Amino acid sequence: MNRQSNENCRKDFSCGSNCVSTIPSNAISLANAIRHKTPDARAVIKGGNGFDEICGTVLFYQQKCSVFVVADIHNLPKSDKYESIFAFHIHSKESCTGNSENEFANVKAHYNPDNKKHPHHKGDLPPLFGNEGKAFSAFLTDRFTVKEIVGRTIIIHSSTDDFTTQPSGNSGEMIACGEIKQQIKY
């Protein structure tokens, strides 16, 4: 999205009382608006070695000026070794593959086309908060469009993101991955 279109989108957020906003006024309205809508993109999350049980989906719904992201993850690790907060990032490459040292090495770095410092990469997402091995997150972002992220990967890390350490927030090992694929709409 170019700067001009972002500025126009931001104007939509500040509608007065006599204006109908293009963004629903609360989470329930947004949830109802997408409840029966096919997502524009989807990532099926699968755990890596030692985390085989992790599974879930991340759905991406393009709005006029933002993307609504819904993550539903199951079987996250629960132990003293792992916190219940997991870093969550979009990475720049398309394949959840790697090598013997890092099975997700081919995802490369965070999606960061503007070369910004962490945590201002376009691929920096809010963390997942685990609850008895499950995590659910829904948020709205204007950092990227669905078109920009299709063909990239999304990673769950073993630790929380410190939002400071460069280049990736000292987030721990990559424990699960999903490839972001465009959904076919009928």
Please check whether residue 28 lies inside any domain of the structure. no
Radius of gyration for the chain, computed over Cα atoms and rounded to the nearest angstrom: 17
Query: Could you give the 3-state DSSP secondary structure of residue 162?
Result: coil
Q: How far apart, in Å, are the Cα atoms of 28 and each of 35, 69, 94, 138, 184?
A: 10, 14, 33, 11, 26
CA torsion 129-133-139-143 (nearest 10°) is: 80
Could you tell me if residue 18 is inside a domain?
A: no
Asked, for residue 71, whether it belongs to a domain, the answer is yes
Q: Are 123 and 92 in contact (CB under 8 A)?
A: yes
Look at residue 122 and tell me if it is in a domain.
Answer: yes
Q: Report the CATH number at residue 133.
A: 2.60.40.200
Q: How many CA atoms lie within 13 A of 15 on its CB side?
A: 12
Residue 27 lies in a domain: no
Q: Is the dihedral of CA 45, 135, 105, 67 positive or negative?
A: positive
| pLDDT tens, residue order, the chain (186 aa) | 444 444 444 444 443 444 444 444 555 666 666 667 889 999 999 999 999 999 999 999 998 889 999 999 999 998 666 668 899 999 998 899 999 888 898 998 888 888 887 777 788 899 999 999 999 999 999 999 999 999 999 999 988 877 676 766 567 889 999 999 998 776
